[in-house]
């Protein structure tokens, strides 16, 4: 029984460390590259003004950005690609959640 307890504690701590590491990665990417995407969401006319953004993934050729609307009306993920040295809107990946619609999902690692 004692061995099971240690295994359970190890699993919980491992999951929490993985989650915190994922948040830390996104926060660092947002700090380093967030300004590059601060106004690029306007290429998608479905998204109004944003309250904040988080850089979920970033590479030399593509990026996934999570935008949260002003007053918390919804969260959307947009994908951008780099062409000729400039970031351009590629596609809308999905609406994660919305107060006014039916979307009610989660985005890793931020949950909402």
Q: Could you tell me which of 30, 109, 39, 44 has the C-alpha nearest to residue 76?
A: 44
Give the number of other CB atoms < 10 A from CB of residue 98. Answer: 15
Instruction: Check: CB of residue 57 under 8 Å from CB of residue 64.
Output: yes
Residuewise pLDDT in 10s, the chain (112 residues): 788 899 999 999 999 999 999 999 999 999 999 999 999 998 887 888 899 999 999 999 999 999 998 876 788 999 999 999 999 999 998 888 776 766 667 787 777 6
Q: Could you tell me which of 84, 83, 85, 37 has the C-alpha nearest to residue 58?
A: 37
Bridge partners (DSSP) of residue 24 are: none
Please give the pLDDT value at position 96: 85
Please give the pLDDT value at position 73: 78
Task: Please state the pTM of the whole predicted model.
Answer: 0.84
Strand pairing class (62-69; 74-83): antiparallel
Instruction: For 61-104, give the DSSP string.
Output: SEEEEEEEEGGG-EEEEEEEEEETTEEEEEEEEEEEEESSSS-B
**Alpha carbon distance 26, 44 (integer Å):** 22
Domain residues of the chain, as ranges? 2-98
| Residue position matching structure tokens 């003004």 | 49
């Amino acid at each position: 029984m004692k061995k099971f307890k240690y295994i359970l504690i190890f699993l919980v701590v491992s999951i929490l460390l993985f989650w915190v590491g994922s948040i830390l990665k996104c926060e660092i990417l947002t700090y380093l590259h967030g300004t590059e995407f601060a106004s690029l969401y306007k290429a998608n006319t479905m998204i109004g003004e944003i309250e904040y953004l988080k850089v979920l993934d970033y590479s030399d050729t593509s990026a996934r950005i999570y935008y949260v609307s002003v007053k918390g009306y919804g969260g959307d993920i947009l994908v951008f690609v780099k062409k000729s040295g400039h970031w351009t809107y590629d596609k809308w990946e999905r609406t994660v959640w919305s107060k006014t619609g039916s979307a009610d999902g989660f985005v890793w690692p931020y949950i909402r």
